[in-house]
Structure 1
Amino acid sequence: MPVGMARDLEETGCSSSEEEEVEEGPEDHPCIMWTGGCRRIPILVFHAEAILTKDSYIRLIGERYRLSYKIVKTDSRLVRSILTAHGFHEVHPNSSDYNLMWTGSHLKPYLLRTLSDIQKVNHFPR
């Protein structure tokens, strides 16, 4: 389930009393940047060259944490290709179990309120 990724990645951070630089560990990956105190907030970085290289190491993060996306009311082949190259899998447009939603129109406020903390939506449609 996508919620597990957020918990797993946050648990790799350090306590607030530690001020030392965190050593490199298994979560150091070219597609993850860390922000927040003691590297607690993961940010995924997408690399366009992943489409051409088909590098399995880049796919590792998406596959390991079972990250998913859905595309609604648009046909964004480039977005679909980049997400697939990073190990994300596509879910049905009616599914509510996803990490990223790419939409071609503005969302209704009630849909935005139903998003969980780990679900993200593109800010500008299309």
Structure 2
Amino acid sequence: MVAAAILWRDGKFGTNPYRYQSPEGNSLKGAVDWLLPYFTGAQTHAEFVNSKAAFDKKRAANGEKGYIAGTLFNPAEARSSIALAAYFEPQLIKVYQEQTKSSSKYPTWQFVLNEVKRF
């Protein structure tokens, strides 16, 4: 998302890189939309249960924290992604504030940067 913000501010990309869809229909916005219900706690997600990646299997076999199949996704791990996405979708600050129980206008420095960069 950092690269998307840079491209957007540069103005030469031609379209909003956050909303840009690949030929397969994937986009950063779509990824954030998918992530939001897990961030808010409206849904839960068991990590790595369907992973076929050898790398994931090796990490789980080594007992690496956070890589055990079936471990529930921790919403706090999405905070930086939501803060970055708020550059493109300023209303996400409300979602962030609710999830983190913050009433601050700028819950993290990323929100300050988002506002400054928008101008």
Q: Identify whether the pair has TM-score above 0.5, normalized to the shorter chain.
A: no
From the two aligned structures, give the one with the greater helix fraction.
Answer: 2
TM-score scaled by length of structure 1: 0.32
**Is the radius of gyration larger for structure 1 or structure 2?**
2
TM-score scaled by length of structure 2: 0.33
From the two aligned structures, give the one with the greater strand fraction.
Answer: 1
